[in-house]
Amino acid sequence: MRRLQTYVVSLLLIGLAGCAVGPKYQRASVPTAPTWSTEAPWREATPKDAIPKGTWWTIYGDDQLNQYEQQATSANQSLQIAIQSLEQARQLAINSEAGLFPSLSGGAVAQRQRLSANRPLSINVPSTTAVTQNTFSVPFVLNYELDLFGPRTPEYRSL
């Protein structure tokens, strides 16, 4: 019992030592300029990323440039790959919903077998007649998984 108490006290002391905090933190003072000034010919950047780009080249009014841009867009393999990858992702997401619906399968099987009259039936009793057997089956399977935890909300609809 004494040994157990020693272990418990040791563990508590080690745990408390890990919680020790150092001296109070004070932020270092660094001299900084109150405002940023630029010298000519430099100026502060003003990006206009929010402006729609679209068909910006039409401002030149050049039909040949418009034709080149149309050809470049339709022949851009990277763009075509990206479009196909997006479409593939959408189709895979739609296919993943297939398990949410019941599945039904069925078929028909017919077999015919003829057993010879000369077949060995047992050691002492020989078989004297031929036998024809017919087997018919119509398998029918209906599968459905019950959703016990509520419907899942598909996030891929935003693609």
Contact (Cβ atoms closer than 8 angstroms) between residue 58 and residue 68: no
Report the alpha-carbon distance of residue 13 to residue 19 in Å, rounded: 10
Give 106's pLDDT tier (boundaries 50, 70, 90).
Answer: very high
Give 26's pLDDT tier (boundaries 50, 70, 90).
Answer: confident
Q: Is residue 20 over pLDDT 70? A: no
